[in-house]
Amino acid sequence: MGSNYYGGCDVGSTYGKAVIMDENGKVVGSSILASKLDPEETAKATIQEAIANTGNGIANISDLKYLVGTGYGRQHITFANENISEISCHAMGVHSVAPNVKTIMDFGGQDLKGISIDEDGSVSNFVMNDKCAAGTGRFFDAMARAFEMSIADFACLSIDAKEEVPISSQCSVFAETEVISMIAKKKNPADIALGIEKSVARRAYSLLRGAGIRPDITVTGGCAKNRGLIDCLEKMFNLKIVSLPVDPQLMGAVGAAEYARRRSK
């Protein structure tokens, strides 16, 4: 059974993601798990769960014909046939499921990337902000914590805003303190959330201009599930953000699996 299946494993700073793909490029199994302290443990647990979720009789990692590792912890995926950068894998992943998309905003756990894609799915250009957590998954975790709500609830909070309450702090630590102060002053939570979403959208727009903005545009990473952020980005770019047919948090793993499928041939 395993000779016709391929794997992609993306070990990120906050989550491990894995995808199992068949020989036709269809995703047949996937998993998303919180990252452990040991990247190799994260990789093994994530890929094994993705295999279990296929329901196709695959039992072990060794049943896969080819496996590609990616993400910041890719060098620790010792059982992978090959390791490829997460930037290349995000580009290939998006290209394989939405070939018309030419620009990606990837909101990672600890960094923000702007990626421009060539016609063949390779990276044309990219820019990256990894100097601070502002505008990343960890930043939104801090904001949700300030509101004492889940990240899923926070993602929808700004939709009911009446007017923006601007956030002046870019640092996640200072921004969290600023937000707590605004809540204490009885500012409308939805208006505060809108200020947060707009602050991140402006940061993303500024960064992405360096990579080159070409339609169609999509967003990858867990933050792509943040409806408030997507709304702000669409208004700022004056473009519709393309919704992907596969969980956007899995895009790095999808690209890794697609590379595995191509490499094996």
Q: For each of the chain's 265 residues, which pLDDT tens digit applies?
A: 446 899 999 998 889 999 999 999 999 999 999 999 999 999 999 999 999 999 877 889 999 999 999 998 898 899 999 999 999 999 999 999 999 999 999 998 878 899 999 999 999 999 988 666 666 788 888 889 889 999 999 999 999 999 999 887 666 667 788 888 998 999 999 999 999 999 889 888 888 887 788 899 999 998 999 999 999 999 988 989 999 999 999 999 999 999 999 998 7
Question: What is the CATH topology of the domain spanning 2-91+249-264?
Answer: Nucleotidyltransferase; domain 5 (3.30.420)
Measured between alpha carbons, how far is 121 from 229 in angstroms, rounded to an integer? 26
Question: So what's the pLDDT on residue 171?
Answer: 66
Do the domains 99-243 and 2-91+249-264 match in fold? yes
Distance CA 175, CA 210 (A): 25
Report the C-alpha gap between 169 and 175 in whole angstroms: 5
* Domain ranges across the chain: 2-91+249-264, 99-243
* Rounded Cα distance, 152 and 222, in Å: 10
Instruction: Specify the fold of 99-243.
Output: Nucleotidyltransferase; domain 5 (3.30.420)
Whether residue 10 has a cis bond before it, omega within 30° of 0: no
Residue 211, pLDDT score: 79
Residue 195 DSSP code: H
pLDDT value at position 178? 87
- Segment (H or E) for 67: strand 66-70
CA 184 → CA 90, 101, 145, 161, 178, distances in Å?
40, 43, 14, 18, 10
